[in-house]
Amino acid sequence: MRYSDRILSTPSSFIRDILKVTQDPSVISFAGGLPNPISFPEEALKESACRIIDNEGGKVFQYSTTEGHLPLRQFVADKYNKNFGLNITPEDVLITTGSQQALDLIAKTLLNKGDRVIIEEPGYLGAIQAFCMFEPEFLPVTLEDDGLDLEKLEEALKKERVKFAYVVPNFQNPTGLTYSKERREAVCALFDRYDTVLVEDDPYGELRFKGEKLPYIGAGKLPHSVLLGTFSKTVTPGMRLGFIITQDKELMNHLVTAKQSSDLHTNIFSQYMIADYLAHNEYQKHVDKIIALYKGQAEAMLAAMKEYFPAHVKYTEPEGGMFIWVMLPEGQSSLDLFHKAMEKKVAFVPGDPFYAGKTNVNTFRLNYTNSTPETIREGIKRLAKVL
C-alpha cells in the first residue's frame, strides 16, 4: 500500500472542509472558530515589523534556536507567574507553530501505536485529529456542566498504557463550558494519585467576560503537568504562535527534540514581531477590547436563541471564549440539520467530529466571534426556522 496506516486513519479536518462550503458571501457562518479581524492590532504590528528590521537586521531573517526567542519566552513566563502565582522560567517554555503543533509534538513524544489517551467527550476536534496520526486508543470521558465525570475519569486512569489526558478547562471547545474550582481540585487529586501526564490547553482563558478567574488544574501542582497557550486568540492567528509550558525537564528535552525533527524552530520573524509588539503596547488593554467585543456578540446570540429557538432545544451559556453548544432532542442528527440549514444559507459545525467514534449525534457548535450582532440575529432566526 502506498500510504501509511496513520494517514489513512486520520480524518480530514471537518471544519476546514466546512469553511470551503461557506465561502459564499450570502451564507451566514457560525462554523469557524475565527477571531474577529477587527481585533487585530494592524497598525501596531506594522510598527513592530519595521522596528525589528531596523533594530535587529539579519537576525529576524536567520535560523534561530528551537526553544524560541528568549524575550517572548520571558513574557510568557512573567505573565503566568503574575496572573496565576506560578514559578515559571523561560526554560520551561517552548514556542510552537500554533497550539496545533504543540498537540502534535506531545503526541509524537508520548504515544506509541495502541497507547491510550483520555479526552473529553465532546472534545476539541483539532486535538482528536492531531492524536489520530499516532494511532492511539481514545478513552472519552463525559463532560458534565462543571467538568469531567470523576467516576469515569478514574475508570479511565486505572487502565494500562494511558499516556496522557487532554482537557480544555476554560470555555471548552466545543461546549463553551468551564470546569468549577471544586471539580478542578478533584481532577488534580486523581492525577496526583495516578501519575499520568495532564495536558491543559488554554487558548481562550484570557477571554472571560463574566464570572471569576479560576486556577489551573495541574500547572504548578502536578509534576507532569503540561500547559498550552497561544497568541492566536488575542493578537493574531496568522502568525501561528503558541507555546508549551512544563516544568518536567525530561519531557521538555524530548519535546525540543521532536520539534527539531519537525521544523527546527517556529517562524523567528513572527516571534521577534510579537515580542516587540508586547514590549511597546498595553497587552491587557488590547485583550480587554476583545473581551468587550465578544461579550456583546455572545449576548446577541444568546438573546436571539432565547427568542427564536423552540423550547426543546437546549444550549450552554458560556462565561467567555468563542462557542455555544446546542443539544437537540435524543435521536435527532445535527448532520441532517446542517444540510437543511445550508439551504437557508446558515452554517454551523455538526457535533460528529467532536466525538471519537460516534456519528449522527444530536449536538452542534455555534461560533459568535466573527459576526456582527445584526448578522448573528438574522442567522439564528434562519436556523430557528429549520429547527
Of residues 159 and 32, the one with the higher pLDDT is 159
**357-380 average pLDDT score:** 95
Quick one: pLDDT at residue 23?
73
Q: What single-letter DSSP state applies at residue 201?
A: E
Judge whether 69 and 97 are in contact, CB under 8 Å: no
Domain span holding position 149: 63-280
Give all strands of the β-sheet with 314-315 in edge-to-edge order: 314-315, 323-327, 363-367, 349-350
Domain count, the chain: 2
User: Whole-angstrom Cα distance, residue 64 to residue 76?
Assistant: 19
Is the same domain home to 10 and 93?
no
DSSP assignment of 375-386 = HHHHHHHHHHHH
**35-47 average pLDDT score:** 95
DSSP assignment of 162-200 = EEEEEE--SS-TTT-----HHHHHHHHHHHHHHT-EEEE
Is the same domain home to 136 and 226?
yes
Torsion over CA: 32, 214, 219, 143 (sign)? negative
Is the same domain home to 76 and 223?
yes
Pairing of strands 314-315, 225-230: unpaired
Q: Is the pLDDT of residue 22 over 80?
A: no
Q: Is the pLDDT of residue 338 over 70?
A: yes
User: Whole-angstrom Cα distance, residue 64 to residue 48?
Assistant: 19
CATH number at residue 350: 3.90.1150.10
Q: Is the pLDDT of residue 304 over 70?
A: yes
Domain membership flag for residue 56: no
User: Whole-angstrom Cα distance, residue 75 to residue 60?
Assistant: 18
Is the same domain home to 256 and 289?
no
Quick one: pLDDT at residue 196?
95
Quick one: pLDDT at residue 24?
80
Is the same domain home to 232 and 88?
yes
Of 229, 248, 280, the domain-final residue: 280
Of 280, 299, 334, the domain-final residue: 280
Is the same domain home to 229 and 371?
no
Q: Is the pLDDT of residue 20 over 90?
A: no
Closest listed residue to residue 26, CA positions, set 380, 366, 347: 347
Pairing of strands 28-29, 349-350: unpaired
Query: What is the per-residue pLDDT across 191-225, written as a single tens digit (0 to 9) for each?
Result: 999 989 999 999 999 999 999 999 999 999 999 99
**163-187 average pLDDT score:** 98
Is the same domain home to 181 and 273?
yes
Quick one: pLDDT at residue 293?
96
Query: What is the per-residue pLDDT across 93-137, written as a single tens digit (0 to 9) for each?
Result: 999 999 999 999 999 999 999 999 999 999 999 999 999 999 999
Is the same domain home to 310 and 237?
no
3 state SS of 208: strand
Query: What is the per-residue pLDDT across 56-93, written as a single tens digit (0 to 9) for each?
Result: 999 999 999 999 999 999 999 999 999 999 999 999 99
CATH number at residue 156: 3.40.640.10
Is the same domain home to 193 and 255?
yes
Quick one: pLDDT at residue 1?
79
Is the same domain home to 344 and 197?
no
Is the same domain home to 149 and 243?
yes
User: Whole-angstrom Cα distance, residue 66 to residue 252?
Assistant: 12
Q: Is the pLDDT of residue 261 over 80?
A: yes
CB atoms inside a 10 Å sphere around CB 3: 7
Residue 21: which pLDDT band, with cuts at 50, 70 and 90?
Answer: low
Query: Which percentage of the chain shows pLDDT scores above 90?
Result: 91
Of 221, 251, 280, the domain-final residue: 280
Q: Is the pLDDT of residue 240 over 70?
A: yes
Is the same domain home to 17 and 69?
no
Please report which helix (H) or strand (E) contains residue 286, including its range. helix 283-308
